[in-house]
């Protein structure tokens, strides 16, 4: 079935046991987010908060909270969308199996946006910003935010709906220096389509109008984060995945999503910014306060039975992990088309997506001589030069021919494959003084840092160790050596200090030189070695979100050969927390105690969890 509204989706979920209602009044200031996190951790259902303090509107979260529920939401449409993508990847499939694709032209019709010919449901009523469910997720957040917005803009002098850009850009509703009900913050990062429009408006005398949609059919929020090619409207994908054409209307110079639950319209100031943030974000740290564009609010529309749709982000995995899951399911066939020669890509969710990317490429250049990374380096450059994958900080790439069953989603197996083959004298390739993800504070400045490509090709050159050598000797400030994965050792070091950090790492590397460590090609210097060992996600998160490759990669017995840096012994990654890093997200213990009442015996959620 296709949903015409979020309300219809909620009814379907409840009918099929995928939704719970919370009837108690819930404070949007931290309480709703704390409940969401607990339900998500238990792989629980979607949550409908019927009474949000200070607002007449109910709120929904955890809609995409499990992969199974995400599949359920789009159970009728995903098979048809996949067929459209199959033909996009290889049109000859149609002639090979014509009966399989008989319905595909009708599916494609749902991609065409449709102007409403009757009154749009979203214009049922108007309200003000302060009447919305003002969800605040983390204690240090600068105010309440829209966490699942669909922000639509059009280029100046172009009102064609297919020229629109729809993106999920963070919206701050309250706090800081925003005049309540009059101004809101617009946070968007590099490599975002709205930036193209902003630049065009800066060079014109036209007002930069924007519309922010909240809610609507589940496919609409998903379409806003879909990495589509520039020039292809997200509205087409919203229709395809939703199985229903995107309906819209025009009002006072703005585009309104007819099926949205809420639409906030306004004008983005071209030459003015205001402080936005902090905000507890999806890397597991706060994104700090920075100057971002500000939007003057014109109107807030809502539909009858409107539901405020929100999520809570934080250290992954969280609800938004399902977006990555579904994207992979849908576009994996297009990977070789977008990245010639590349078989697989995995932007690792547990590491915050952009900090760590694993890829499998092809080596076909010189099959008649000794294997070494050649073509996969070309493919790595293509990956780092394309859209969202250009934000990758650590890119590990291996050659398909070395192990046909290699799988980037088998992360321990992938690391094992790479570390058995990598040659640190040859296979490290740094990109210094470049751009990194806006939310990554491990670099040398805002959006400033480095990248490294680690390319492995050929036969194994070592056997990885599973046990710490009994003869291992460490300087007195270093302790608790532990095996995180075969071939990867975590060592707990002294607290990072800018005055002593370089010497700390040099002392460790010098102490390790000459010791028998062939089975450990990678060493992670960290603040808490048992934490890294506790589970795979801890290792992926701590090791790759807290390191800036150009500054924090060192090695045992290093050398420089004509500007190429490498090492003869183990690679050492300094993944300690640094003073310039953003704070780690932590819950408020007072709020946690208040929420305990719902889950305690006699509480509304006691028997459900």
Q: Which tens digits make up the pLDDT trace of 65-122? A: 999 999 999 998 888 777 777 666 566 665 566 666 556 666 677 888 999 999 999 9
Tell me the pLDDT tens digit for each residue of 157-205.
Answer: 888 898 888 989 999 999 999 999 999 999 986 556 687 888 888 888 9
Q: Which carries the bigger pLDDT value, residue 270 or residue 265?
A: 265
Tell me the pLDDT tens digit for each residue of 318-330.
Answer: 999 999 888 888 8
Is omega for the bond preceding 24 within 30 degrees of 0, making it cis?
no
Superfamily of domain 6-309: Electron Transport, Fmn-binding Protein; Chain A (2.30.110.10)
Mean pLDDT across the chain, nearest whole number?
Answer: 91
Nearest to 189 by CA among 170, 163, 164: 170
Those residues with Cβ within 8 angstroms of residue 346's Cβ, 6 or more apart along the chain or in another chain: 328, 357, 358, 359, 408, 409, 411
Q: Which carries the bigger pLDDT value, residue 609 or residue 19?
A: 19
Q: At 151, phi and psi to the nearest 5? A: -95, 115
Tell me which fold the domain 321-456 belongs to.
UbiD C-terminal domain-like (3.40.1670)
- Give the bridge partners for 456, in sequence order: 398
Instruction: Indicate if the pLDDT at residue 428 is higher than 60.
Output: yes
Domain boundaries, the chain: 6-309, 321-456, 479-574
Residues of the chain with pLDDT > 70: what percent? 93
| CA distances, 443 to each of 162, 281, 354, 391, 522 (Å) | 37, 17, 13, 13, 21
pLDDT of residue 61: 98
3-class DSSP state of 366: coil
**pLDDT confidence band for 370 (50 / 70 / 90):** confident
CA 109, 113, 116 angle in degrees (round to 5)? 120
CA 55, 60, 64 angle in degrees (round to 5)? 160
Q: Put the strands of the sheet holding 308-309 in their side by side order.
A: 19-26, 46-52, 59-61, 308-309
Least confident of 34-48, 56-70, 180-194, 451-465: 180-194
pLDDT of residue 106: 62
A 10 A CB-CB count for 422 gives: 25
Tell me the pLDDT tens digit for each residue of 482-493.
Answer: 999 999 999 999
Q: 321-456 and 479-574 share one CATH topology?
A: yes
Q: Which carries the bigger pLDDT value, residue 336 or residue 552?
A: 552
**pLDDT confidence band for 227 (50 / 70 / 90):** confident
**pLDDT confidence band for 447 (50 / 70 / 90):** confident
Instruction: Indicate if the pLDDT at residue 33 is higher than 80.
Output: yes
Burial class of residue 346 (count of CB atoms within 10 Å of its CB; 0-12, 13-18, 19+)? buried
Number of H helices, E strands in the chain: 18, 30
pTM assigned to the model = 0.92
pLDDT of residue 110: 81
pLDDT of residue 230: 55
In words, the CATH class of domain 479-574 is: alpha beta
Q: 159-163, 216-220, 499-503 — which one is most confidently predicted on average? A: 216-220
- Kind plus residue range of the DSSP H or E element containing 181: none
Nearest to 244 by CA among 232, 254, 230, 257: 257
């Amino acid at each position: 079935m296709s949903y015409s509204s979020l309300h219809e989706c909620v009814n379907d979920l409840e009918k099929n046991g995928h939704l719970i209602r919370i009837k108690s009044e819930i404070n949007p200031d931290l309480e709703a987010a704390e409940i969401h996190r607990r339900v998500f951790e238990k792989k629980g259902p979607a949550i409908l908060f019927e009474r949000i303090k200070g607002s007449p509107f109910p709120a929904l979260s955890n809609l995409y909270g499990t992969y199974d529920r995400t599949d359920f939401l789009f159970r009728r449409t995903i098979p048809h969308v996949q067929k459209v993508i199959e033909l996009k990847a290889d049109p000859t499939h149609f002639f090979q199996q014509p009966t399989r694709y008989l319905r595909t032209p009708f599916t494609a019709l749902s991609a065409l946006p449709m102007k409403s010919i009757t009154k749009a449901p979203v214009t049922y009523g108007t309200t003000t910003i302060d009447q919305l469910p003002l969800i605040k997720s983390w204690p240090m957040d600068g105010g309440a935010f829209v966490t699942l917005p669909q922000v639509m803009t059009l280029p100046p002098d172009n009102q064609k709906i297919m020229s629109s850009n729809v993106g999920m850009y963070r919206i701050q509703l309250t706090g800081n220096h925003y005049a309540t009900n009059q101004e809101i913050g617009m946070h968007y990062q590099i490599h975002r389509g709205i930036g193209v429009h902003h630049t065009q408006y800066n060079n014109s005398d036209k007002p930069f109008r924007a519309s922010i949609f909240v809610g609507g059919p589940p496919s609409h929020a998903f379409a806003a984060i879909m990495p589509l090619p520039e020039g292809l409207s997200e509205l087409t994908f919203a229709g395809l995945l939703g199985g229903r054409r995107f309906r819209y209307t025009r009002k006072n110079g703005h585009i309104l999503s007819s099926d949205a639950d809420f639409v906030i319209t306004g004008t983005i100031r071209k030459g003015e910014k205001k402080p936005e943030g902090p905000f507890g974000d999806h890397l597991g740290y706060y994104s700090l306060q920075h100057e971002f564009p500000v939007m003057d609010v014109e109107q807030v529309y809502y539909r009858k039975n409107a539901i405020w749709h929100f999520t809570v982000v934080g250290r992954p995995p969280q609800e938004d992990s399902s977006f990555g899951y579904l994207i992979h399911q849908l576009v994996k066939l297009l990977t070789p088309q977008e990245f010639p020669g590349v078989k697989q890509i995995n932007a690792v969710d547990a590491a915050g997506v952009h900090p760590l990317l694993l890829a499998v490429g092809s080596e076909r250049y010189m099959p008649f001589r000794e294997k070494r990374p050649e073509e996969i380096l070309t493919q790595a450059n293509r990956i780092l030069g394309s859209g969202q994958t250009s934000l990758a900080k650590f890119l590990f790439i291996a050659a398909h021919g070395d192990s046909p069953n290699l799988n980037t989603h088998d992360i321990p197996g992938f690391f094992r494959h790479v570390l058995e083959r990598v040659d640190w004298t040859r296979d490290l390739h740094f990109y210094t003084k470049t751009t990194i993800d806006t939310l990554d504070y491990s670099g040398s400045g805002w959006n400033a840092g480095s990248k490294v490509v680690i390319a492995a090709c050929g036969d194994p050159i070592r056997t990885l160790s599973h046990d710490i050598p009994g003869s291992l000797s460490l300087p007195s400030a270093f302790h608790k050596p532990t095996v995180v994965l075969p071939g990867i050792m975590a060592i707990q070091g002294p607290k990072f200090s800018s005055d002593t950090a370089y010497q700390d790492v040099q002392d460790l590397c010098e102490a390790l030189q000459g010791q028998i460590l062939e089975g450990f090609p990678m060493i992670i210097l960290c603040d808490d070695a048992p934490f890294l060992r506790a589970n795979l996600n801890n290792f992926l998160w701590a090791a790759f979100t807290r390191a800036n490759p150009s500054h924090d990669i060192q090695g045992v017995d290093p050398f420089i050969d004509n500007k190429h840096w490498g090492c003869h012994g183990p690679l050492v990654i300094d993944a300690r927390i640094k003073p310039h890093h953003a704070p780690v997200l932590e819950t408020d213990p007072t709020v946690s105690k208040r929420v305990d009442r719902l889950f305690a015996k006699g509480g509304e959620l006691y028997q459900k969890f």
